[in-house]
């Protein structure tokens, strides 16, 4: 979890919004923000903060800074991850800004842009380290089950990511399963 928190603090979406998108967008605070019937959860997106990111990465073992500013661990492994994304002009612009900003936190983002069909196939096969993904949610309610329920995370061995599901992060948590199942059974808000 510390490592993922570090990634959040190392990824400067606000600069993308302010400069590349000229302030025409706003950052969502949560996965299903904007559904008035669900209320306004107190969840906040983690702000870009290179110092906090480095603190989290240090706890994950990345304590030394290489000559190019990228953190390395005791084995000499660089803090380098590949982001899979759709290859379009605007998405590539966004990805390059995120890559540029991440270096301030000691993180190297490598970019892998693909045409939409190949990208979606690779993402759903879970053959990526990180993926830039956006799903359209259909009101009046989001469907958390398809994105977060354990049944769509791993194969029966509990280790191999289950392909061809919308649980793209292979998220598995029994507490979330209970929430997803209750949400599906609900007959009112």
pLDDT digits (tens, 9 = 90+) for 28-61: 777 777 666 666 667 788 999 999 999 999 999 9
Burial class (CB in 10 A: 0-12, 13-18, 19+), 170: middle
Question: What's the start-to-end Cα distance of the chain, in Å?
Answer: 31
Average pLDDT of span 16-23 = 93
Per-residue model confidence (pLDDT) at position 140: 67
Q: What is the pLDDT of residues 93-127, one digit of tens each?
A: 999 999 999 999 999 999 999 999 999 999 999 99
Per-residue model confidence (pLDDT) at position 141: 72
Q: For residue 101, what is the enclosing H or E element?
A: helix 89-102
Q: How far apart are CA 184 and CA 33, in angstroms?
A: 18
**Residues of the chain with pLDDT > 70: what percent?**
91
Contacts of 14 (CB under 8 A, 6+ apart): 27, 47, 48
Residue 109 is given by DSSP the state: E
């Amino acid at each position: 979890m510390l490592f993922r928190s570090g990634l959040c603090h190392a990824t400067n979406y606000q600069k993308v919004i302010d400069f590349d998108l000229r302030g025409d967008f706003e950052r969502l605070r949560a996965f299903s923000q904007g559904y008035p019937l669900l209320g306004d959860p107190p969840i906040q997106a983690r702000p870009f903060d290179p110092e906090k990111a480095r603190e989290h990465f240090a706890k994950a073992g990345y304590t030394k800074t290489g000559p190019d500013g990228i953190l390395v661990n005791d084995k000499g492994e660089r803090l380098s991850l590949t982001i899979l994304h759709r290859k379009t002009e605007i998405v590539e612009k966004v990805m390059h800004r995120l890559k540029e900003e991440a270096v301030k936190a000691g993180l190297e983002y490598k970019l892998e842009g693909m045409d939409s069909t190949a990208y979606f196939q690779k993402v759903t096969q879970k053959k990526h380290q990180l993926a830039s993904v956006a799903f359209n949610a259909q009101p009046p309610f989001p469907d958390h089950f398809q994105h977060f329920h354990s049944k769509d995370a791993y194969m029966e061995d509990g280790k191999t990511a289950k392909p061809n599901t919308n649980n793209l992060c292979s998220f598995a948590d029994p507490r979330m399963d209970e929430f997803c199942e209750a949400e599906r059974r609900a007959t009112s808000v």
